[in-house]
Structure formats: C-alpha cells, structure tokens
Structure 1
Amino acid sequence: MHKIIILICAFYFKTSIHALGSDNLEETSNHVPDLAKDKNNTKDGSYGSLAKKTKDCIDTDITNLTRSQINSLILTIEEALSTYKEHQSKVYEKILSSTNCKMPLVPKNGGLVCAYFDSIYYCKPMCNQGYDFAFLRRSRLYEKCGSQNGFSWSSQYIGGSRLAECIASKDEVSGESSGYFKTEKCQKVVSRKKTEQKYIDEFIKELEKNGINKNHKNDLDFVVCGD
C-alpha cells in the first residue's frame, strides 16, 4: 500500500499536472500572465494551501497510517488534482482566446499537438500506445480552425468540437505513424518541456511539407492530453 500511495502522489503531482510545473509556469506566463501569476486561482482560494497539500502528500510517511487516514489522504489527492485540472483547462482556454477559436475536445487516451500559422490553428490528434483512432485518418493528419470555417473546428464528427476518438486496440492502423505516442503516454510527454517541444517541432515540419509555413506564432503552440 505504501508504494501505491507514493506512485499516486508522484504521478499526479510530478507528471500529470504539467501546466503548473516550474518549467511550464515560466513558459505559460508568456501568453497567460494572469493565470500564471494569480496564485489564488483555485477552488479553495489559496494556491499556497494547495501547494502545501501537494508537498505534504509526497513527504508523508504513511507506514503507520490507519486505513481511514490513507483513505483521507487519497481524497485529498483527488481533490487537489481536480483543482489543478480546472486551472490547467483555463490556461489552454486563455491561449486560444486570442484566436477566436475555442478549445477542442481532447481525445481520451491521447492528446492534441497544436500550432498556429497565418491566423489558423492546426491540431493533430494523437493516441497513446495501445489505442487507435475510431475512424480512418491516414489522409487526415490534422484538423483546423480559422476564419475560413467560421472559427469552428473541422472534424469527421458532426457538430461540436470533437476532433478524434482513441479506442483500445492492439494495432495502430487508422492514422499516420506520427499520430501515436510511441514509447510514452501523452501525460509524460508534456511533463518535460523538451519532449513536448519535440512533438511540436515534428508537427511543424509536417505542416511545412503541406506548404503551411507563414506567420507562425510559436507562443501559441502546445500539446494537451486527455484523461
């Protein structure tokens, strides 16, 4: 049980909550300073209190905790995670707000790699290892949002902003080879700035091959993960 709790703490607070990591706070503050600097932007109104809960979780010696105390600790973790995710969503929504595009739905068990060229947002859906796209996407690398389509997202789905869906599969056959996180899940990719940038750079090269290379705003590029 000790190892399980430690893994929960480490995964939720050191990996999954990438938007609030030290590197990404600095990166995010370039285009969303109000969210990055307002440390009272949490459910309980206290960023400091939430940060303390995170540290207490990681530092807690749970060897002698009772079952009730362990259950209480897990509840604290879940509540803190929910608050961080709410803040994370606001960060991404703020990035897109200057473009008139709304945040698309992020595929569960996958993510989106997005870049902004010449007043158009391009997002490439990606699936984690062990998942594949519900619809064939080999000739459909990305979806886009801009003035040409009324600032709505193109999609294989009717209505809404769902760009793709990742379903459990042993084979990865529905998309291009670059449409999958091969060796690590999306959450781990975005927890490290250099790894995240690697996927963004790969997508930019793919866009350039399609003649999309004008007026790039790299401060609006990002990778975002589904649950």
Structure 2
Amino acid sequence: MALRGTFTLLCSLAVLSSAGAQNATLLQNCASQTQLLKRLSADLKGAVECGETLPSAWSPQETAALVLSMRSMTDTLHRHQLQECQGAEPTKCPEAEVPPGGGLVCVTVDNKRYCKPLCSHGYDFAFIRRSRLYDECSEHTAYKWQTQYVGGNKLAVCSEASIQVSGAKSAYFPKDQDCLTTKSSIQLQSGVIEEFTAELKAEGVQGEPQSACLVCG
C-alpha cells in the first residue's frame, strides 16, 4: 500500500508539473488525471505522515527531482487558486491584489465589489486600518479600488511582525489557522465569508451577497 501510494504521488506530481507530449506520455503510464487529482491530497498526507523515513532510501538526485516537481506543482496550484475570484460583478473592476502573508475575502452586493484583506499570524498591516475593514470597487468609485495605496489594485500589505495592532480583530487569521488552512475547510472558509457579510450589513450594506470567495497570498 505504501509503495502504491508513493508511486501514485510521484505520477501525480509528474503529470501536474509537466506539459506537452511528455504530459501525454505520463498520463498513459499513470491512471486517469481525474483519479490522480482525487488521490493526490490523500497521498501527500500519507507521505507527510511517513516523515523522515519516506526518502531515506532515495538518492540525492531522486529527492531533488521530487522537490522540484512539488515546487512546480505548488506554483501551478497557487496561480490557479488566485484566479478563483475572477469574473465577479462588476466586471469593470480590476482584480484586487492578494497580500502575501495573508489573504483576501471578497463578495459582491448590489453590483458593488467589496474585498477585505486579512493577515496571517506573525504578520501585520503596513498601514493602520482598524476602522477600515474593507475596500470597495463600483460605479461610485469609477470602477477603481478605494485603497490606502495610490493607484493600482493593492489593498494592503502584510509585513512580518511580532504583534498585530494595525487592523481590526477580525482582520487576522488565528495563530494555527492561516489562509490555506482556512480555505482547506469548507466550514472555516464559510465562517470567514459569513463574518465579512455580517460586517458589511452592520456598515449598512444591504443586499444579497454574490460571488463570495477567499484567495490566499
């Protein structure tokens, strides 16, 4: 079982990080891509649980090749999840930049796009924004983001910090629950989105929330 899991893991990484004719060849040697994607998460968790014992029999070249494949796959998946907020109304609004070291929760209400930056534990906002929970892009703002930064689509910067004092309490992910951990759980992600929609209603933003999403930097 362990060998099969490792083989599937390696095939999955190879398929997802390769392209063109090489990709087609790998798909012939492995199971279907859909099956690989479904099993990839479980296989990766199994590999992590094996700890230091998993790569002990591998050569330095094999270990380096696996690290390279995992890095390529991580970059691909990261770019993919950054696109999950695209296409939301109003479409004239540019995509807001997601702060590294944090995330961005967004929702559309009454054809107005609202996004709330959040920082992970160990990071804080570069500017004070305790009373600034979110930023808006709509016809009222000429389809530009009302941001503390001049021009562009940057809403916030999460800088490394030992304490978090620049933002509201709800603008930070918990200590052991960063953005990706939150997004990996439908319950945790829904909680972040529901908290944001409740904050909007408290600010007088009325209407049915649409196109809600959470993206991680």
Give me the TM-score of the superposition, normalised by structure 2: 0.75
- 2:103·2:179 contact (CA, 8 Å) conserved in 1? yes
1:44 pairs, out of 19, 42, 48, with 19
Change (3 A) 1:200 1:67: same
SS of 2:108 mapped into structure 1:
strand
Say whether residues 1:224 and 2:199 are aligned partners. no
1:101 pairs, out of 93, 99, 113, with 93
Change (3 A) 1:79 1:182: same
SS of 1:75 mapped into structure 2:
helix
* Aligned-residue identity in percent: 33
Please list the CA deviations of residues 11-39 of structure 1 after superposition, one character each: whole Å capped at 9, or x if unmatched. xx9xxxxxxxxxxxxxxxxxxxxxxxxxx
Change (3 A) 1:186 1:117: same
Please list the CA deviations of residues 69-128 of structure 1 after superposition, one character each: whole Å capped at 9, or x if unmatched. 0000001111122222233233332x4366322211111101111111110111111111
The one-letter code matched in structure 2 to 1:221 is A
Partners of 1:147 and 1:98 in 2: CA distance: 8
SS of 1:194 mapped into structure 2:
helix
Partners of 2:141 and 2:172 in 1: CA distance: 27
Counterpart mapping for 1:1-227 below 5 A: 44=19, 48=33, 51=37, 54=40, 58=44, 61-93=54-86, 95-96=87-88, 99-183=91-175, 184-217=177-210, 220-226=211-217
For 2:51, the equivalent position in structure 1 comes to none
Partners of 2:98 and 2:90 in 1: CA distance: 19
Structure 1 stretches of 5 or more lacking a match?
A: 1-5, 14-40
Change (3 A) 1:57 1:70: farther
Partners of 1:83 and 1:130 in 2: CA distance: 26
The one-letter code matched in structure 2 to 1:44 is A
The one-letter code matched in structure 2 to 1:82 is D
- After TM superposition, the structure 1 stretch with the greater mean CA deviation from structure 2, 78-87 or 200-209, is 78-87
- After TM superposition, the structure 1 stretch with the greater mean CA deviation from structure 2, 133-142 or 52-61, is 52-61
Change (3 A) 1:52 1:65: farther
Structure 2 stretches of 5 or more lacking a match?
A: 1-5, 28-32, 48-53
Shift of 1:55: 6.9
Change (3 A) 1:191 1:52: closer
- 1:110·1:128 contact (CA, 8 Å) conserved in 2? yes
Partners of 1:98 and 1:212 in 2: CA distance: 16
The one-letter code matched in structure 2 to 1:170 is S
- 1:57·1:73 contact (CA, 8 Å) conserved in 2? no
Q: Higher Cα Rg: structure 1 or 2? A: 2
Kindly report the root-mean-square deviation, in angstroms, between the aligned alpha carbons of the 2 structures.
3.0
